[in-house]
Structure 1
Amino acid sequence: MIVRIMGEGQVRLDDSHFAELNRLDDELLEEMESGDGPGFRRTLTALLSAVRTRGAALPDDSLEPSELILPAPDASLEEVREMLTEDGLIPGPAG
Structure 2
Amino acid sequence: MIVRIMGEGQWNLADSHFAELNKLDDELLAEMEGGDEAGFRRTLGALLDSVRRLGTALPDDALEPSELILPTPDASLEEVREMLSDDGLIPG
TM bin (shorter chain)? over 0.9
- 1:2 corresponds in structure 2 to 2
**d(CA) in 1 for partners of 2:74, 2:11:** 18
Deviations 1:67-87 (A, max 9, x none): 100000000000000000000
The alignment's TM-score, normalised by the length of structure 2, stands at 0.99
**d(CA) in 1 for partners of 2:20, 2:58:** 21
- 1:25 corresponds in structure 2 to 25
**d(CA) in 1 for partners of 2:63, 2:35:** 36
**d(CA) in 2 for partners of 1:56, 1:23:** 20
- 1:50 corresponds in structure 2 to 50
Gap runs ≥5 in structure 1: none
- Provide the aligned C-alpha RMSD in A: 0.4
**d(CA) in 2 for partners of 1:60, 1:78:** 28
Q: What does 1:1-95 correspond to in 2, within 5 Å?
A: 1-92=1-92
Gap runs ≥5 in structure 2: none
Amino acid corresponding to residue 8 of structure 2 in structure 1: E
Give how far 1:89 is off. 0.2
2:60 aligns to what SS in structure 1? coil
